[in-house]
Amino acid sequence: MAHVLVIEDDPGIRSAVIRALTARGHAVDSTTTGLDGLQHILSGDPEVVILDLGLPDVPGERLLGMIRSVSQVPIIVATARDDEELIVRLLDEGADDYLVKPYSPEQLEARLRAVLRRAAAAADPTPAAVTVGGLEIDPARRTASVDGAPLDLTRLEFDVLAYLAANPGRVVSRKELLREVWQRTDSARTVDVHLSWLRRKLGDDLDDPRFIHVHRGVGVLLEDSVASPDA
Ligand code: CA
Along the chain (231 residues), what's the average pLDDT of each consecutive run of 10 residues?
Answer: 95 96 96 96 94 92 92 91 81 87 91 85 75 91 93 89 88 89 76 89 91 90 77 40
Fold (topology level) of 130-222: Arc Repressor Mutant, subunit A (1.10.10)
Sequence spans of domains, the chain: 3-122, 130-222
32 CA from centroid of ligand 1 (Å): 9
49 CA from centroid of ligand 1 (Å): 15
56 CA from centroid of ligand 1 (Å): 7
116 CA from centroid of ligand 1 (Å): 24
Fold (topology level) of 3-122: Rossmann fold (3.40.50)
- Confirm if 216 and 171 have CB atoms less than 8 A apart: no
Angstrom distances, CA of residue 228 to CA of 10, 79, 167: 32, 25, 15
pTM above 0.85, yes or no: no
37 CA from centroid of ligand 1 (Å): 13
Element housing 30 (H / E): strand 27-31
**DSSP E strand stretches across 48-107:** 48-52, 75-79, 97-100
- What per-residue confidence (pLDDT) applies to 23? 96
Q: Alpha-carbon Rg of the chain, whole angstroms?
A: 18
91 CA from centroid of ligand 1 (Å): 19
136 CA from centroid of ligand 1 (Å): 40
33 CA from centroid of ligand 1 (Å): 9
